[in-house]
Structure 1
Amino acid sequence: MSAATGRSDFSHLLPTNWKKQVASWLDEDTPSFDYGGFVVGETEQTAALYCKAKGVLAGVPFFDEVFAQLGCRVEWLAREGDEIDPKGGRVEVARVYGRARHLLLGERPALNMLARASGVATRARALRAIKDQHNWHGVIAATRKTTPGFRIVEKYATLVGGVDTHRMDLSSMIMLKDNHIWATGSITNAVKQARSVGGFALKIEVECRSEAEADEAIQAGADVIMLDNFDGPGIRAAAKSLKDRWRGKHSFLIEGSGGLTESNVAPYFCPDIDILSFGSITQSVPHIDFSLKVIQKK
């Protein structure tokens, strides 16, 4: 956590390969000649970054790295995690300094990333606010429904927005869904196989469609029970029943998932549910509009 801002610096979480991913964005956008860059040349210029829609600013280290790889410098006027409200206009949130063609080389990859990351963070922040309003003490989590090649940015943005990332990838936790169960013949078989290779270090989560399936998963030693596609009243009843029945016998968490959104989540808040996961945090998210404009010299 930064002593200056009182906020966690999530950039410290980023893996060693993240700068290579930023480089790949630049490679994708200019695979051959930079015709526009030829037009503008290498005069030193300053560009203003404007936010033009209400949202949470997220993706700052990725934005910085795009321009760092092009020899440019970014000076921020807002902090990551700030809620920006241009009130129908636009708000300047940063300035970028560098050679004209380098500013334009970085413009679109940086803006595309910032728009999506900020959209994810904005959705996450809204869900966190709903959870707090209902005084629910469980965990709001994203899912693995992320954009291929862009997961690190989207998972990062969920943290900026104030919710849990859930598992990062297939190696982070063992989640056994319907296809795993059908392929192995039973929940018990699937959990046994998973435990034989995951050992003590990895949690096992099992997707269940009924209390009977949940009971089998708990008996087999699952750590997390996902009650999938239950409605609000249904999941509240099932969660209470399972917690009461297994109290003092097995320890486990209950997760609710399946079609959850900002508008329908309220009935799912209850003391017996530990986690609610949302594909909607990273899917169908409105992007936050940003633009980068070279400041004309007088």
Structure 2
Amino acid sequence: MALSYGAAEDLLPIGWKTQITEWFNEDTPSFDYGGFVVGSSANTATLFCKSPGILAGVPFFDEVFAQAGCTVEWHVKEGTYIDPSKQGGKVAAATVKGPVRKLLLGERVALNTLARCSGIATKSHEMNVLVRKAGYTGILAGTRKTTPGFRLVEKYGMIVGGVDGHRHDLSSMIMLKDNHIWAKGSITEAVKAAKSVGGFSLKVEVEVDSESAADEAIEAGADVVMLDNFDGEGLRAVARTLKTKWAGKRQVLLECSGGLTTSNVESYINNDIDIISTSSIHQGVPHVDFSLKIDH
């Protein structure tokens, strides 16, 4: 696990548990017919991991079963890479105890959340390992292209996987993209307006598609400039020029984004770029396969 100062669950806000209540309301909006069939006798169930990946999403899994009146005992620590192929095809990751009806009531909600979060953590870790092996020393980050209502889980998975979650929402940082610039009329005016309300505590990032636009953004006072959709060669040339041109004049971070994946990211890597951001670590990633089986 990449975190060194505490458990990732300590990041979670006070109100996060209400999201899980809403998941239950969605999954069982009226009667629990299957629960009627099995009844409420006490039993245990084993959580098996059946495909390789990093375990992530433990607090969400725990809270699903806590709200269902069950308890969870983990046998694997969050952030651990599990390889079932080396252990007979499946690994017993946790034991869940409670009424049979409640075990099955929480089963699918808990598994879906854990599988998705672990998949994101795994992909994030893989990308991080790849760029480090290629010599990159800057920040690898996700994006805000997350699933509505599920962002907290997806950002959590990125962090457990060892990458930067980037801005969590529109209030976390002021990012001015092409539509903002067009609507305001110029980069300079857009940055000026952003700084008038963001104050000293919010960074302003500007998305650009040319060196001249980057210069305007830096001159206007942008804290971060995103070089968007450049090819690898063009990115290296512009980043080097900007770093040289503005050295000792303005402090600015350079970010690159736009279509970066594990198959092409190495061609973009250069250490004049401070941040590489990509949605490929959390959009459309394979889930880690988990199952929950009643012990019998």
TM-score by length of 2: 0.97
Q: Which residue does 2:51 correspond to in 1?
A: 53
Question: Which of 81, 84, 94 does residue 83 from structure 1 map onto?
Answer: 81
Q: Which residue does 1:38 correspond to in 2?
A: 36
1:263-294 alpha-carbon deviations (Å, 9 max, x no partner): 11112221210000011111111111110000
- Verify: 1:163 aligned to 2:157, yes or no: no
Q: Which residue does 1:211 correspond to in 2?
A: 211
- Verify: 1:152 aligned to 2:117, yes or no: no
Please give the alpha-carbon distance, in whole angstroms, between the structure 1 residues aligned to 2:50 and 2:118. 12
Q: Which amino acid aligns with 2:161?
A: G
Q: Which residue does 2:6 correspond to in 1?
A: 8
Task: Please report how far the alpha carbon of residue 6 of structure 1 lies from its aligned counterpart in structure 2 after TM superposition.
Answer: 6.2
Task: Please report how far the alpha carbon of residue 132 of structure 1 lies from its aligned counterpart in structure 2 after TM superposition.
Answer: 2.1
Task: Please report how far the alpha carbon of residue 7 of structure 1 lies from its aligned counterpart in structure 2 after TM superposition.
Answer: 6.8
1:215-248 alpha-carbon deviations (Å, 9 max, x no partner): 0000000000000001111111100000111111
Q: Which residue does 2:72 correspond to in 1?
A: 74
Please give the alpha-carbon distance, in whole angstroms, between the structure 2 residues aligned to 1:72 and 1:36. 17
Please give the alpha-carbon distance, in whole angstroms, between the structure 2 residues aligned to 1:271 and 1:121. 24
Deviates more, 1:7-16 or 1:42-51: 7-16
Residue 291 of structure 1 aligns to a residue whose secondary structure is strand
Deviates more, 1:100-109 or 1:131-140: 131-140
Please give the alpha-carbon distance, in whole angstroms, between the structure 1 residues aligned to 2:51 and 2:34. 28
Map residues 60-209 of structure 1 onto 2, 5 A cutoff: 60-87=58-85, 89-209=89-209
Please give the alpha-carbon distance, in whole angstroms, between the structure 2 residues aligned to 1:254 and 1:6. 26
Moved over 6 A (4+): none
Q: Which residue does 1:253 correspond to in 2?
A: 253
Task: Please report how far the alpha carbon of residue 86 of structure 1 lies from its aligned counterpart in structure 2 after TM superposition.
Answer: 0.9
Q: Which amino acid aligns with 1:208?
A: V
Please give the alpha-carbon distance, in whole angstroms, between the structure 1 residues aligned to 2:236 and 2:120. 28
Q: Which amino acid aligns with 1:232?
A: G
Task: Please report how far the alpha carbon of residue 8 of structure 1 lies from its aligned counterpart in structure 2 after TM superposition.
Answer: 3.2
Task: Please report how far the alpha carbon of residue 38 of structure 1 lies from its aligned counterpart in structure 2 after TM superposition.
Answer: 0.3
Please give the alpha-carbon distance, in whole angstroms, between the structure 2 residues aligned to 1:6 and 1:45. 36
Residue 137 of structure 1 aligns to a residue whose secondary structure is coil
- 5+ residue gaps, structure 1, are none
Q: Which residue does 1:286 correspond to in 2?
A: 286
Q: Which amino acid aligns with 1:23?
A: T
Please give the alpha-carbon distance, in whole angstroms, between the structure 1 residues aligned to 2:36 and 2:213. 64
Between the two proteins, what is the percent identity of the paired residues?
63
Taking a change above 3 Å as real, the CA distance of residues 6 and 211 of structure 1, as seen in their structure-2 partners, is: closer
Q: Which amino acid aligns with 2:42?
A: E
1:61-120 alpha-carbon deviations (Å, 9 max, x no partner): 000000011110101110101111111721110110000000001000000000100010
Please give the alpha-carbon distance, in whole angstroms, between the structure 1 residues aligned to 2:219 and 2:230. 21
Please give the alpha-carbon distance, in whole angstroms, between the structure 1 residues aligned to 2:77 and 2:49. 13
Question: Which of 15, 18, 21 does residue 20 from structure 1 map onto?
Answer: 18
Please give the alpha-carbon distance, in whole angstroms, between the structure 2 residues aligned to 1:195 and 1:95. 51
Task: Please report how far the alpha carbon of residue 134 of structure 1 lies from its aligned counterpart in structure 2 after TM superposition.
Answer: 2.1
Please give the alpha-carbon distance, in whole angstroms, between the structure 2 residues aligned to 1:137 and 1:37. 52
Taking a change above 3 Å as real, the CA distance of residues 82 and 148 of structure 1, as seen in their structure-2 partners, is: same
RMSD, matched Cα? 1.3
Residue 225 of structure 1 aligns to a residue whose secondary structure is strand
- Verify: 1:271 aligned to 2:271, yes or no: yes
Residue 17 of structure 1 aligns to a residue whose secondary structure is helix
- 5+ residue gaps, structure 2, are none
- Verify: 1:242 aligned to 2:242, yes or no: yes
Map residues 216-227 of structure 1 onto 2, 5 A cutoff: 216-227=216-227
